[in-house]
Chain A
Amino acid sequence: MSDEYVIEMRSIIKDFPGVRALNNVTFKVKKGEIHALCGENGAGKSTLMKILSGVYPYGTYEGDIVVDGEVKRFNNTRDSENAGIAIIYQELTLVKYMTVGENIYLGNEPIKNGIIDWNKVYADAAKLLKELHININPRTKVMNLGVGMQQMVEIAKALSKNAKILILDEPTSALTEAETELLFKILLDLKQRGVTCIYISHKLDEIFHIADTVTVLRDGSTVCTDCVADMTEDKIITAMVGRELTEQFPRVEHTAKDVVMEIRNYTVYDPDIPDKKLIDNVSFEIRRGEILGLAGLMGAGRTELASSIFGGFNARREGEVYINGEKVDIKTPIDAINNGIAYLSEDRKRYGLVLLMDIAENIALPNYGKISRFSVIDNNKKIKYANSYVKELNIKTPSITQKAANLSGGNQQKVVIAKWLMSEPKVLILDEPTRGIDVGAKHEIYNIMNKLVDQGVAIVMISSELPEILGMSDRILVMHEGKFTGEFNHKEADQEIIMRAATGGK
């Protein structure tokens, strides 16, 4: 009877100290389908997949894993690989100084007479890449590839191990639209070849675009498994959050006041190629009490512009920055913070948080000047600030001494927001503030933004999600290849207008 399912996870229970991460989850995947798995952060998706891929070995959970009708006990990831299961993580795991071919066969090298048969490595890799219609030379070093291509190499690596079941964890979060299209093409192609795919994603449009079936997890339990054709976006969102989302974006009308920051004739050069301009002579201003949306495709230069203004981008630049009409010279983030500029990076784990440190310390890090005297810290003030932000921003944690590493993505992002709120910025630059964050936390972050704007903060929001740009911005600037190609009031803009400007069309 279980013939039609290639994977059945039955009544899975997984406990972490103090928390039940999975409570009786049943998850069945049919052979040859693309099965979307969605749920808010912390719903248990990753935990479930870690059990399936052997990261959490047999014995650390309750329940059965059945692959092709056979009960399996995975003691490690290799066991699960041998059963044909391969997982591709959100953070790619390639060795960037090695070539594509070396990476594909890493740990699996073809051996002839005790020596690696390099000819076979590259010949097989080339064949594999060709089958996937990926046009790269297997002798290219991975560091020279974009994120999208690296993902394709990961898929090729999985297939080289004869994977029949491919698990993709948020594969498109770092991909451009074109790369996403290519990924979808490859997945559909693999489906034709009988490869089953489990696709974890927050992006509902992708699920509707590509998946056959969708399973929704909420708080460690399966809410539903349905054919995608029978679902609607609203139904999935409702299943994920357990409540109706009346409005996705809480739009509040703001009134822009005086100009707080002005950028004039700003140019940023490529750190590696001295003559290449990443940002080409742009000028703009941001007013107190408005949200300025910075739209554009990936690679348009928005992050480079923002981190350069913040003093964090290590490259030559020209141009002027004025704060409240006064010219300022920002060389390092220290100068920026002193001038009332805060920058929330798109990569919160790399630039936003010290994961080893607790919530209170992360919030205090840029603000020690405020809670210390003669550089001796008043720890009680630190605790007081942290507690008040945990409450204000609804950061879900048992205590402010919880390490940042143990928080979910949404709560981590709130900690980063809290640390910048404590610095009382005039200009808050938010770079992809809701990336990788569940629906509920997104909504909370939007509300925080509106509140800040009411308090007179100027917000610059960089986002690759057009609905977010349209739903939250008062004014929208569109960037394409380092130049602004359009400025719109939110009332006159729609997705097509912005997309046209973002792709360089007029």
Chain B
Amino acid sequence: MTDKSKRINIDARSYTMILALVAIWVIFTALTGGGFLTPRNLSNLIRQMSITAILAIGMVLVMVAGHIDLSVGSVAGFTGALAAIMQVNYGWSTPMTIIVTLGVGLLIGLWQGFWIAYQGVPAFITTLSSMLVFRGAILLVTKGVTISPLSDSFKLVGQGYISPSISIILGIVGGILYLIFEMRSRQAKMKYGIDVSGWNAGIMRIIGVLLLISLFVGIMISYEGIPIPVLIVLGLVIVMTFIANNTTFGRYVYAIGGNREAAAYSGVNIKKTNMTIFLIMGLLSALAGIVLTSRLNAATTSAGTGFEMDAIASAIIGGTSTLGGVGTVPGAIIGALVMASIDNGMSLMNIDYSILTIVKGLVLVLAVWMDVSTKKRTV
């Protein structure tokens, strides 16, 4: 049983979006006289994308299970502010600050999960409430002032680079690990007597992935090396894709979103699964908050405003269904790249922020429309 859609874990909308992404890049490269496609700009682009990407990765899980989380922007802002306070006001070390901040994120996830999973309050209401609560909490803890500056080690999380030589080593190690993974999965398949024909397609895929890794590392070392927040995103993509596809929790998320009643009748613990989803979302929101504060080297009262919309839009552009049951982590990253590319390209062209916002809004509708109109209409 070799089926392409199974191996290449990206759906039709993501393919359309990869094409759209290429088109966007071509257009901006032309309009900026090549300025868009420089290693420096590409490095900036994916660094800018990283916060939205971290949130979008969690949002995929939330939305696949049929929920929504409107509070991620406020929670990222709040946890980011707490991190700044720990560092600036209390002089905590960077590792300590990060661990405690992530812990607060988990607690916030616990709070949301309690209402959504165990008390049956819809996620839309619960997270709308949290959006207000934590926006207020930011003002409360910062007393309305910007908190800065942060320690050098903390700034590394959002601003640092892996040096070019170590970037190359990471790239090589990544490539080798990937090869080992491919070989082992092939061996395991043969052990179970599963047909592994189509070896050519497999080789093509391996070459493709290795090329992609080389290209990525190549571009990054042409500037300063791999940005640390980008490395965090890459790690999350791998871990969360694995969780989504290869753990019982991940499959339960998809089952709940696809048909909650059938999942319940199949012995899926819906409450526990929903709780876990919001714990993960809380953790990722706090991580986004840490990266945000680190990048800005400050905690501001408006930090994180509107991030939830970027995260939701990225997930949707990347193929996540608003009705639940469908969506992938790599898709959401492509969605985040589309949004960030438009952001970045238009800024390079010095187009006004107002126009930029309008364009981003329209892209969301266009992306979903392209998907809907290419699908066959069914009744």
Contacts and interface: CB of A to CB of B under 8 A. Distances in A.
Contact of B262 (A350, A380, A399): A350
A368 B3 contact: no
Given A365-B268, A366-B267, A384-B194, A354 B326 contact: no
Contacts of A380: 188-189, 191-192, 194
B268 to A, nearest CB: 7
Contacts of A377: 246-248, 251
Contacts of B265: 310, 312, 333, 343, 345, 351-352
Interface in B222-266: 245-249, 251-252, 254-255, 258-259, 261-266
Interface string A392-417: 00000001110000000000000000
A401 B3 contact: yes
A495 interface: no
Given A333-B264, A380-B188, A354 B5 contact: no
Nearest to B255: A354
B143 interface: no
Interface in B2-43: 3, 5-6
A364 B250 CA distance: 13
A400 B264 CA distance: 23
Contacts of B1: 383, 387, 399-401
Contacts of A455: none
A334 B269 contact: yes
Contacts of A493: none
B248 A384 contact: no
- Chain B residues touching A, range: 20 to 34
A96 interface: no
Contact of A381 (B192, B248, B262): B192
B193 interface: yes
Contacts of A365: 251, 255, 262-263, 266, 268
B258 A357 contact: yes
B358 interface: no
Contact of B326 (A50, A55, A352, A356): A356
A379 interface: yes
A135 interface: no
A336 B265 CA distance: 10
A352 B264 CA distance: 10
Interface residues of A, number: 40
Nearest to A50: B379
Given A377-B251, A380-B188, A401-B3, A419 B266 contact: yes
A376 interface: yes
Interface in A369-383: 369, 372, 375-377, 379-381, 383
A50 B269 CA distance: 39
Contacts of A369: 248
Nearest to A371: B248
B113 interface: no
Contacts of B258: 354-357
Nearest to A55: B379
A354 B246 contact: no
A375 B251 CA distance: 10
A334 B269 CA distance: 7
Nearest to B192: A380
Interface of B is mostly: helix
B319 interface: no
B325 interface: yes
Contact of A384 (B193, B262, B269): B193
A352 B263 CA distance: 8
- Looking at B1, B5, B249, the one whose CB has the most chain A CB atoms below 10 A away is B1
Nearest to A348: B262
A8 interface: no
Contacts of B325: 354, 356
Contacts of A399: 1, 3
A351 B191 CA distance: 35
- Looking at B1, B264, B266, B268, the one whose CB has the most chain A CB atoms below 10 A away is B266
Contacts of A94: none
Contacts of A474: none
A350 B258 CA distance: 11
Contacts of B191: 380
A337 B267 contact: yes
Interface string A295-329: 00000000000000010100000000000000000
A337 B269 CA distance: 12
A313 to B, nearest CB: 11
A353 interface: yes
Which are the 6 A-B pairs with shortest beta-carbon distances?
A354-B258, A366-B266, A356-B258, A337-B267, A368-B248, A401-B3
16 contacts: A332-B264, A333-B266, A334-B268, A343-B265, A350-B259, A352-B262, A354-B262, A356-B254, A361-B254, A365-B251, A365-B255, A375-B249, A380-B188, A381-B192, A399-B1, A401-B1
Given A334-B268, A337-B267, A368-B252, 14 more contacts: A343-B265, A351-B265, A353-B259, A354-B258, A354-B262, A356-B258, A366-B268, A372-B247, A375-B247, A376-B247, A377-B251, A380-B194, A383-B192, A401-B6
Interface of B: 1, 3, 5-6, 188-189, 191-194, 245-249, 251-252, 254-255, 258-259, 261-269, 325-326, 379
